[in-house]
Structure 1
Amino acid sequence: MRAIRRFIVRTVLPDELAPLDELAHNLRWSWHAPTRDLFAAIDAERWAAVGGDPVALLGALEPGRLAALAADAAFVGRVREAAHDLHVYLTAPRWYQQQQSAQLPRAVAYFSPEYGITSVLPQYSGGLGILAGDHLKSASDLGVPLVGVGLLYGSGYFKQSLTRDGWQVETYPVLDPDGMPLTLLREPDGSPAVVTVELPGGGALHAHVWRAAVGRVPLLLLDSDVPENDDAVRHVTDRLYGGGGEHRLRQELLLGVGGVRALRVWSRLSGAPEPEVFHTNEGHAGFLGVERIRELVATGLTFDEALEAVRAATVFTTHTPVPAGIDRFEAKLVAQYFGGDNETPGVPVERVLALGAEDHEGGDPLVFNMAVMGLRLGGRANGVSLLHGQVSRGMFAGLWPGFDDVEVPIGSVTNGVHAPTWVHRSLVELVQRRLRPDEVASGSGWLRTGAIGDDELWSLRGALRAELVAEARVRLRRSWLRRGASAAELGWVDDVLSPDVLTLGFARRVPTYKRLTLMLRDPDRLRALLLHPERPVQLVVAGKSHPDDDQGKRLIQQLVRFADAPDVRHRIVFLPNYDIAMAQALYPGCDVWLNNPLRPLEACGTSGMKSALNGGLNLSVLDGWWDEWFDGENGWAIPTADGVDDVDRRDDLEAAALYDLVEHQVAARFYDRDDRGLPTRWLEMVRHTLATLGPKVQATRMVADYTRYLYVPATAAGRALAASDHEGARALAAWKARVRDAWEHVHVDHVETGGIGEVPQVGDELHVKAYVSLGSLDPSEVQVQVVHGRVTEADELDGYAVDALVLAETFEAGRHAFAGDVPLQRSGPFGYTVRVVPRRDGLSSAAELALVANAPA
């Protein structure tokens, strides 16, 4: 019999246990083992049954058990101690409070469509969400005053299971926010705070705001499933990445526009400072910039003035290495939401559409591109690894015509991972016992003789592998029962995997470019590796395909069918429903983490970082972060067939290289033992990985980099333009308008050179004098540059330097001469050119206006 209504009845805690409620609702417990131990001590069996969810645990306790705990003086003392520890964590000065910069932002707003913080708050689908969750956790650990903004999805992403023939099946359990570690934001009279976004035709999208406490960081999640909405609008936040077209657009409007409005409500109700910097994690939240422009226009600024103020204080991070990964909408659909009755005075719909217009070469004039809008609204932009920054500069170069890719204003901050979340507790405790804090921070402790012996390190790695084997057997049995098998036919599961066999892990989303089935290119070769009589290999594989991606589902099915074969099923398993809980067992237990994307389509790929922090070695294509930090001793690089256009041929070549590496290097080294039975050379690589990669791959390093190199400069720029009723923004907008109007009259007339003989030599100085026309612009408003360096056979400058020329003479009709000397410091083919770019204090780069006048060839 089905219930007609459902609701959560909350537990009433005795006064002695009241701090448990805050401990349960602050997600610090998800990375703080002592707090989890406290909840486990209440009822270990129930703690396991509820999946380590403190809110669910407290809700499952009977009054008698609560009374007994309240009467237990020792337990009450533990509760008070844990509450005090949390209070100190939330209030004591941390890294951020010790920084000296006068331009530290009072608060930073961080927008993301998904957040992977803990499996009990399933609001993530993959790497973007996990990265966002680690960003918030690390900001909390550092004391960075961040506030997160996202959406609360009624069914999260989805739960994955398999049919008997290996086809992915999705289910969407209804999530009740009252049963999760969330608090509804309320007005002083107790009513829910409501955020409203206008819809075409006079309709409205209303949302409540839920707050998750991620340590020191509040995370605001907007929920459209509220009584004020009709049925269609209530479903806007039904599923993460659900639907398409207008449904997806409404989600992104609520995230961006509604998110800014939620921040204003949060500041009003909590007294928290208004954010000075807005960080857009991918283009999904790009409409936040439009909303902030609307706010400023309402105070009296023009659109252009508001745009400058918004850009200055906005950071845009792109995670997408391929155009197909970008959200794009029909421009006429976007126009319905910002035009007509919805058009705001002073914010013309055509100006909004221009922000996302693909008006560059190769673009589609009928499309609104969210990443393009993110770049146009972001005064500072970055990719998430050095290679991804390079790929992004090439992908978006059309927005800055006249500039080479290297000068496109997109930098990079390489991602990191939150170590307290991902490092196995046994390893943490070993480190705490044997290494000093400074040795942990620098990684040097792993190389100190006698700190942690080879036998102890190898024993720990074996224990972690055995733990993974046990977990995999439980999950595999559960999966087969759901696939329709009977318990009587699953006795073989007890022998699946071995705690003594080299274990490779592969787990991630399943888009085509990640090549889940590259390992299956030659099934016989893979079978031989798995069943090798002396050096066997075992594989643990997991991953979800997007519900609408049948090609991805076919890849999963292909792998599952191979893994189901009786001769190899004890050596390769596919574990359904990959999530944070599975990952926390998978990373520590794998000896090697496999990653074989189609280079260079992996933006960063942080799963290998998590493995490295647990003493795993990486076996990966040189893509994302691995391209940056592989050093030959921390794992292996899979050779790639770059330049081979035939996709099948390329996959064959790279799969063969993968098989060779596994057989002749990875497995050979793992099974090469000394007289004590220890793989000493393998353990040297593990130590080297922990010592060198350990400090680099931390998300605290990442957030500190964002703070120093993006948040602080954005704060300085934002404050400069906002001062004195936005006088700076008004002046900058007026200057840009004047420069754009005048630029058609700016050109390089001719260039004279001298100072070198017929045979130039290293040490000579090339004298350059450029005659330029500036029209109505003053020489102080431009920079005339000589661009010089090596040249290719096609006379293309390669790896060039840029030097400014100085004003030498002024003539009539806006003509001027600029001159300077260029030292010839290296031999070989040399070339140069001259160009003119706008110059003004406060510009983020010479390419900011996308204006350049190059000397004629």
Structure 2
Amino acid sequence: MDSKYKTWFHTYKPEKKYEKRVAYFSMEFGIHQALKIYSGGLGFLAGSHMRSAYELKQNLIGVGMLWKYGYYDQARNRDKSLRADFVEKTYNFLEDTGIEVTVRLHDNPNVKVKAYVLKPEIFGSVPIYLLSTDVEGNDFLSRTITDHLYDGNQTTRISQSIVLGIGGAKVVEALGGADTYHLNEGHALPAFYHLRDKGVKKNQMVFTTHTPEKAGNEEHDANFLNQCGFFGRTLTMEELSNEMVNGGNLNYTVSGLRMAKKANAVSKLHAKVSKDMWRGYDNTCKIIPITNAQNPTFWQDEKLKSAWVKKNDDAFQKRKLDLKTELFEEVLNQTGKLFNPKVLTIVWARRFAEYKRADLLLYDLERLNQLISNEKYPVQIIWAGKPYPTDYSGIDVFNKLVHFTNYQANLAVLTGYEIDLSKKLKQGSDVWLNTPRITREASGTSGMTAAMNGSINVSVNDGWIPEFKKDGKNSFILPELDHHMPVSEQDRLDATNLYDILENKVIPTYYNHPKKWQKIVFNGIDDVLSDFSSHRMADQYYKELFN
């Protein structure tokens, strides 16, 4: 095998159409339950991308961070409210590459960054190079930079971007360099500054934006970033002024859009929203849509897939009952509640961000009580998800749901929302509930993997859903609201519409028309696998962004 393939630890010669060497930078990768270097959707997406790149034999590597304590371990206080635990992680399956580079962090010009590699044969992904500053010879503060994913301290977060961006770019250089450098979100932005100084051309840099609201796009005082070493060298005031927006700040997304040859948003709707968001900034590149997707090989249950291929209703329903039973063992273990596999089960599970409205079903408690106490048409509801450990409003919503469900036999809130629990929830649910305020969800991929496993999406028409939905045929969709109306009015109308759809469409169809229900389930699998497999996405990145 050609030596250049060995340096990237690929186990294959890349397919001709995927020969271009691409380095994919991401702050998190959700590649396996045991490798706890992810928090949620961004990581799940990156993990699926790395798996499909491997299965398609693409000449691509991942560049990420080896988080010593991961994101956090979700536990409970004595009253069952949320507790964030931080437990040190060790991974014997990672290999020390022997590559060590240095970056400047603040006044320290020589912070060591060590690169480990997750080889393809471990979890079936392209090689992923993971960076750590927990290296002998570094001072205490430097060693803690790679402790916590999305550290709450601003200076630490900036340092993490420098390590991923500049440290990562130097590691790729040590591996022989890349033809294209791809930033999955703006966290690794310092890579572009370093590469530009090294003579890497604009047509070699591409960028993916994920966040459809300006407040969620990272922005800091440009002078402070300069002092931190963000640009790889100290910029002159004239150079720095060229990077400034919004009164002396540097916006990671604006800079990424200015430095890249092309960028992508993560759904067609998100591309429209992004173009509007950044229209007022000059010299930004074109934004195209490449809709997110997920890897069926990893996420879809094999027996459900077999029954779907044969369109065997009985086999599918039997397997679904088994998967519901497995999920309900977890419910019983965590909450002491006995759920019934024959009862319609609704799941809301994703990151607990305020705009995602985990508690929308609690908007009208009278209607909710009618819903959950109907003996003719019983329902069970499960919530799960991780708020950021310092997002106290998100934690308050989580705890509100815990206390509300505490003595309700058919309602449960689960902890430990990571890859394994995510799989169980998607495979064991009948309905996957998605309730963001419209235009706030860039993509929202959890519904894709739920649909792959026969869970019907009940959703706001946001993110990827407009490209998938056939209301009443493969999903149930809430009427679309004007996103300019007051938030309180949006919440009231969406809650009312959600109760109506559950009471008049979803629940009666499940109990009174099981054949129609099964047809909707199969339609959902047909449509999600045809358009929302990460093989399509990984191929589209090469065709439309890298080449």
Contact 2:219 2:251 in 1 (8 A): yes
Equivalent residue number for residue 175 of structure 2 = 266
- State which of 52, 56, 65 in structure 2 corresponds to 1:138: 52
Contact 2:437 2:490 in 1 (8 A): no
Equivalent residue number for residue 192 of structure 2 = 289
Determine the C-alpha separation between the residues in 2 that align with 1:144 and 1:160: 35
Determine the C-alpha separation between the residues in 2 that align with 1:339 and 1:680: 59
Equivalent residue number for residue 416 of structure 1 = 293
Contact 2:205 2:260 in 1 (8 A): yes
- State which of 325, 346, 358 in structure 2 corresponds to 1:466: 325
CA separation of 1:353 and 1:629: change in aligned 2, threshold 3 A: farther
Equivalent residue number for residue 137 of structure 2 = 228
Aligned residue type for 2:115: V
CA separation of 1:245 and 1:540: change in aligned 2, threshold 3 A: same
Contact 2:260 2:285 in 1 (8 A): no
Contact 1:116 1:133 in 2 (8 A): yes
Q: Once the two structures are superposed, what CA deviation does each residue of 1:806-835 show, in whole Å capped at 9, x if it has no partner?
A: xxxxxxxxxxxxxxxxxxxxxxxxxxxxxx
Identity between Structure 1 and Structure 2 (%): 33
CA-atom RMSD in angstroms: 2.1
Equivalent residue number for residue 575 of structure 1 = 414
Contact 2:438 2:481 in 1 (8 A): no
Aligned pair 1:596/2:435, yes or no?
A: yes
- State which of 130, 147, 160 in structure 1 corresponds to 2:61: 147
Please identify, of 204-213 and 121-130, the stretch whose mean Cα deviation from structure 2 is larger: 204-213
The alignment partner of 1:703 has SS state of helix
The alignment partner of 1:147 has SS state of strand
Determine the C-alpha separation between the residues in 1 that align with 2:404 and 2:479: 25
Aligned residue type for 2:279: A
Determine the C-alpha separation between the residues in 2 that align with 1:508 and 1:691: 24
Determine the C-alpha separation between the residues in 1 that align with 2:278 and 2:136: 43
Structure with greater contact order relative to length (CA < 8 Å, sep ≥ 6): 2
Give runs of aligned pairs for residues 633-672 of structure 1, distance below 5 A.
Answer: 633-643=473-483, 645-672=485-512
CA separation of 1:560 and 1:200: change in aligned 2, threshold 3 A: closer
The alignment partner of 2:149 has SS state of coil
Q: Once the two structures are superposed, what CA deviation does each residue of 1:455-475 show, in whole Å capped at 9, x if it has no partner?
A: 22222222222222223222x
Determine the C-alpha separation between the residues in 1 that align with 2:154 and 2:433: 35
Give the drift of 1:278.
Answer: 0.8
Equivalent residue number for residue 25 of structure 1 = none
Give the drift of 1:334.
Answer: 1.1
Determine the C-alpha separation between the residues in 2 that align with 1:643 and 1:608: 21
Contact 1:290 1:352 in 2 (8 A): no
- State which of 316, 324, 329 in structure 1 corresponds to 2:207: 316
The alignment partner of 2:220 has SS state of strand
Aligned residue type for 1:252: S
Equivalent residue number for residue 564 of structure 1 = 406
- State which of 216, 220, 225 in structure 2 corresponds to 1:325: 216
- State which of 85, 89, 95 in structure 2 corresponds to 1:171: 85
Equivalent residue number for residue 467 of structure 2 = 628
Determine the C-alpha separation between the residues in 2 that align with 1:600 and 1:576: 28
Give the drift of 1:226.
Answer: 0.9
Equivalent residue number for residue 120 of structure 1 = 34
Determine the C-alpha separation between the residues in 1 that align with 2:265 and 2:330: 36
The alignment partner of 1:90 has SS state of coil
Please identify, of 378-387 and 162-171, the stretch whose mean Cα deviation from structure 2 is larger: 162-171
Equivalent residue number for residue 521 of structure 1 = 363
Equivalent residue number for residue 339 of structure 2 = 497
CA separation of 1:644 and 1:386: change in aligned 2, threshold 3 A: closer
Larger radius of gyration: 1
Structure 2 spans left out of the alignment, 5+ residues? 1-8
CA separation of 1:603 and 1:321: change in aligned 2, threshold 3 A: same
Equivalent residue number for residue 365 of structure 1 = 247
Aligned pair 1:702/2:537, yes or no?
A: yes
TM-score by length of 1: 0.60
Aligned residue type for 1:208: K
Aligned pair 1:240/2:79, yes or no?
A: no
Aligned residue type for 2:102: T
Aligned pair 1:90/2:90, yes or no?
A: no
Contact 1:418 1:700 in 2 (8 A): yes
- State which of 121, 128, 132 in structure 2 corresponds to 1:219: 128
Please identify, of 599-608 and 523-532, the stretch whose mean Cα deviation from structure 2 is larger: 523-532
Contact 1:644 1:650 in 2 (8 A): no
Q: Once the two structures are superposed, what CA deviation does each residue of 1:497-524 show, in whole Å capped at 9, x if it has no partner?
A: 2101001111111111101111110122
Q: Once the two structures are superposed, what CA deviation does each residue of 1:319-362 show, in whole Å capped at 9, x if it has no partner?
A: 0011111111111111214599x746xx646435633x21xxxx
TM-score by length of 2: 0.93
Determine the C-alpha separation between the residues in 2 that align with 1:520 and 1:369: 37
Contact 1:335 1:353 in 2 (8 A): no
Determine the C-alpha separation between the residues in 1 that align with 2:118 and 2:295: 18
Please identify, of 212-221 and 495-504, the stretch whose mean Cα deviation from structure 2 is larger: 212-221
Determine the C-alpha separation between the residues in 1 that align with 2:238 and 2:94: 39
CA separation of 1:335 and 1:233: change in aligned 2, threshold 3 A: same
CA separation of 1:563 and 1:202: change in aligned 2, threshold 3 A: closer
Contact 1:160 1:171 in 2 (8 A): yes
- State which of 424, 445, 460 in structure 2 corresponds to 1:585: 424
- State which of 142, 158, 173 in structure 1 corresponds to 2:72: 158
Structure 1 spans left out of the alignment, 5+ residues? 1-86, 187-192, 268-273, 297-305, 359-363, 402-406, 436-450, 478-492, 674-678, 713-857
Contact 2:52 2:125 in 1 (8 A): no
Aligned pair 1:391/2:273, yes or no?
A: yes
The alignment partner of 1:498 has SS state of coil
Determine the C-alpha separation between the residues in 1 that align with 2:173 and 2:265: 29
The alignment partner of 1:237 has SS state of coil
Determine the C-alpha separation between the residues in 2 that align with 1:684 and 1:514: 29
Equivalent residue number for residue 3 of structure 2 = none
Equivalent residue number for residue 252 of structure 1 = 161
Determine the C-alpha separation between the residues in 1 that align with 2:268 and 2:262: 16
The alignment partner of 1:602 has SS state of coil
Equivalent residue number for residue 512 of structure 1 = 354
Contact 2:162 2:229 in 1 (8 A): no
Count of residue correspondences: 535
CA separation of 1:498 and 1:208: change in aligned 2, threshold 3 A: same
Contact 1:393 1:408 in 2 (8 A): no
Q: Once the two structures are superposed, what CA deviation does each residue of 1:199-256 show, in whole Å capped at 9, x if it has no partner?
A: 3435322111111124361111110011121011111111000132211111001110
Give runs of aligned pairs for residues 32-43 of structure 1, distance below 5 A.
Answer: none
Aligned pair 1:550/2:392, yes or no?
A: yes
Contact 2:104 2:229 in 1 (8 A): no
Determine the C-alpha separation between the residues in 1 that align with 2:413 and 2:125: 37
The alignment partner of 2:330 has SS state of helix
Contact 1:397 1:408 in 2 (8 A): no
Aligned residue type for 1:522: D
Give the drift of 1:543.
Answer: 0.7
The alignment partner of 2:339 has SS state of coil
Aligned residue type for 1:156: G
Contact 2:241 2:248 in 1 (8 A): no
Give the drift of 1:162.
Answer: 2.2
Give the drift of 1:105.
Answer: 4.3
Aligned residue type for 1:367: N
